[in-house]
Amino acid sequence: MAKYDLNDLKNRSNVIDMLKEMSNRFNNIRDNLCEPYGLSSLQAVIIMDIYHNQGHTRVTDICKRLNKSTNTISPLINRLIDKGFLNKSQSKKDSRVFEVSLTNETAKIANQINTDVFDYTYPMFDSLTNEQFDGIYDALVRLLEVTEE
């Protein structure tokens, strides 16, 4: 078992706490940006996943990309269909499979959410120097690498 000094353990704990806080902050931002459209955060994530992966999409594709179970995603997709945000159609390749796609109105909403996220988040970096930004970028790339499943 590796030995760590007290500062190392405290720093690791602080990093985990900061990641939780950042996650909470970004969830709140997403909630606020999606509320005017009557969407929960996860519903908006589903819509944005379909938006960024254009065309007809199977529910299993969405689940894989979002790393969520079909038990979690399917009911949300059904609600989005019922509310008129998504269309559901039988796959032309496999009649046993159904695909979902954005309605024209939802595509406009997704485009607006995408713009809102850009407009809200990009100015956050304006107070950073290029070196500070590069340091954050490099650290996040490395963190994604070490947490990859």
Q: What is the DSSP string of 59-112?
A: HHHHHHHHT--HHHHHHHHHHHHHTTSEEEEE-SS-TT-EEEEE-HHHHHHHHH
pLDDT one-digit tens code per residue, 40-61: 888 999 999 999 998 668 999 9
The first and second tokens of residue 114, run together, are 């995408």
Does 110 have pLDDT greater than 90? yes
Specify the pLDDT at position 31: 87
What are the residue ranges spanned by the domains of the chain?
6-146
Q: Shortest CA distance to 68 belongs to which of 105, 40, 42?
A: 42
Strand, helix or coil at 17?
A: helix
Mean pLDDT, rounded, for 88-110: 90
For the structural domain made of 6-146, what CATH number should be given? 1.10.10.10
Does 137 have pLDDT greater than 60? yes
Mean pLDDT, rounded, for 14-39: 90
Mean pLDDT across the chain: 89
